[in-house]
Structure 1
Amino acid sequence: SEYPSVYTACKALAPKLGVGAESLRRWVVQAQIDAGEKTGPSSEELEEIKRLRAEVRDLKESNEILKQASIFFARELDPRRR
């Protein structure tokens, strides 16, 4: 209530806390989202998205390895190459 906006409060308090104003503002906004005061993905949802993206990346890498292996073995087993 001392400050007209969250940004102004963060700009004033960030140097006292030893962090950047934008970092503090983003933390405040995320805390508001987690508390249900604002809409957006919660910290838990963001963590799940991060985990799922890593899983997708790993699966794509595994699929590429399997694809290359199948191409290799198909060539090795091709009777026309003998």
Structure 2
Amino acid sequence: MAGPSAYPLELCKRAVRMAAEVRGDCPNESAALRAVAQQPGIGSAETLRNRVKRGETDSGQGPGTDSEESAQV
């Protein structure tokens, strides 16, 4: 199980929004994540990918158990 994030929640949300915004300017999702991860304080592209996946799951757009259900378990 992952520990608490070293990044503020608002920064994480902003990074996910930025990844969605630049997705159309990049050849693929990986390139978009790398581009956003280069910004100071964002973290690695892999960390950002995990945040994007978690956001998709929490919003019902992706498969898996959302954060609220996981917290109840």
Q: Which of the five TM-score ranges fits, normalised by the shorter chain?
A: 0.5 to 0.7
Matching residue of 1:2: 25
Instruction: State the structure with more CA Rg.
Output: 1
**TM-score, length-scaled by structure 1:** 0.51
Deviations 1:34-56 (Å, cap 9, x if unpaired)? 1111111101122223xxxxxxx
User: Gaps spanning 5+ residues in structure 2: where?
Assistant: 1-23
Deviations 1:16-42 (Å, cap 9, x if unpaired)? 042111000100011011111111110
Give the superposed CA RMSD: 1.5
Which one scores higher on RCO, CA 8 angstroms, separation ≥ 6?
A: 2
Share of identical aligned residues, percent?
33
User: In structure 1, what is the Cα distance between the partners aligned to 2:62 and 2:32?
Assistant: 18
User: In structure 1, what is the Cα distance between the partners aligned to 2:40 and 2:70?
Assistant: 25
Q: For this pair of structures, how many residues does the alignment match?
A: 49
